[in-house]
Amino acid sequence: MRITRGWALVLLGIPIAFLIAFFVVPFLVVVLSSLQTKDGSWTIANYVKAFSDLYYWDTLLLTFRLSLLVTVSSLLIGYPLAYYMIYVLKSRAIRRLFYVVVVTPLFTSNIVRSFGWMVLLGRRGMINDVLLTLGLVERPLPLLFSETSIVIGLSYIMTPFMVLTVSGVLQNIDRSLEEVAQDLGAGSFMTFLKVTLPLSTPGIIAGSLIVFTLSVSAYVTPSILSGGKKIVMSMLIFQQYGSVFDFNFGATLAITLLITTIILVVGYLLAMERGTRMTAAAT
């Protein structure tokens, strides 16, 4: 099917117009209102307020620290699982079963998944039960409503994203490269370390970027699993819109979170690029 210029304009023009009307312009409204006072005059006072108060810095730091922990732990769980699914599992039926189990949590709302962890992590929840029965602890651990519970809950929520991203990349690796390494006498672990792992770095980078940015803006899981004891940026933002009704300052916090996240992501990508170039130069 060949698409004429006129048709292309219509077929792509309507979706783009829709996105401009309901995505680009609303986003610009947020940007502009972060630079306005309540009565609409221009100001940078909102940003001065956000950056001069240590409280907001602390919240921002906590948000990034938790997101980093979540990224690392979902990588530690997700990568080996993805590797197992693609490299070790031979039967397509069992691999499909694994995909079903990975995707089902993804299709369940964050609330329900956090609710599950709330039950598991409670004072008399399953985790504490097991620890007590095994005699590993003497009294129930205060797991729930802490940074630990936020990290556990968010890592659970993010693991499927990591598995799907990494397995997608592993799937497309040319197997003959690994066969060559084995023919040259490399053991399977050496083959993994020298061939598969380097070739799968795009998956690791993409997966950690997805998980990190989603964790930074996560709202539901921190709210439920912190019990209000820990505040992350998204909770502050919603507070401004939902109970303080200061849309302008809410917008300022939202833009601040977005810009600092972008800075971190770009920094990470640059560091990774330099890292790969240096490894390439060394070998």
- The tokens describing 217, both together, are 């803006």
Asked if 11 interacts with another protein (CB under 8 A), we say yes
Sign of the four-CA dihedral 89, 92, 203, 77: negative
Nearest to 208 by CA among 258, 276, 265: 265
Restricting to residues 220-239, name those near another protein by CB under 8 A.
220, 223-224, 234, 237-238
Other beta carbons within 10 angstroms of residue 241's beta carbon come to 15
Q: Quick one: which segment of 41-49, 58-66, 81-89, 173-181 binds another protein (CB under 8 A)?
A: 81-89
Ranges within 186-205 binding another protein (CB under 8 A): 187-189
Smallest gap from Cβ 18 to another protein, in A, equals 6
101/278 with CB nearer another protein = 101
Nearer to another protein, 126 or 278 (CB): 126
Residue/partner pairs of 104-113 with CB below 8 Å, 24 or more apart: 105/156, 105/157, 105/160, 106/160, 106/161, 106/164, 109/220, 110/157, 110/218, 110/220, 110/221, 111/220, 111/224, 113/153, 113/156, 113/157, 113/221
Task: Return the number of the residue (3 or 278) whose C-beta is nearest another protein.
Answer: 3
Quote the least distance from Cβ 218 to another protein, whole Å: 8
Which position among 30, 45, 173, 231 is part of the footprint of another protein (CB under 8 A)?
A: 30
Q: Is residue 245 within the footprint of another protein (CB under 8 A)?
A: no
Which span (16-24, 48-56, 135-143, 268-276) binds another protein, by CB under 8 A? 16-24
Interface with another protein in residues 31-50 (CB under 8 A):
33
**Which of residues 236 and 282 has its CB atom nearest to another protein in the complex?**
236
| Region binding another protein by CB under 8 A among candidate stretches 47-55, 66-74, 116-124, 136-144 | 116-124
Total chain residues near another protein (CB under 8 A): 87
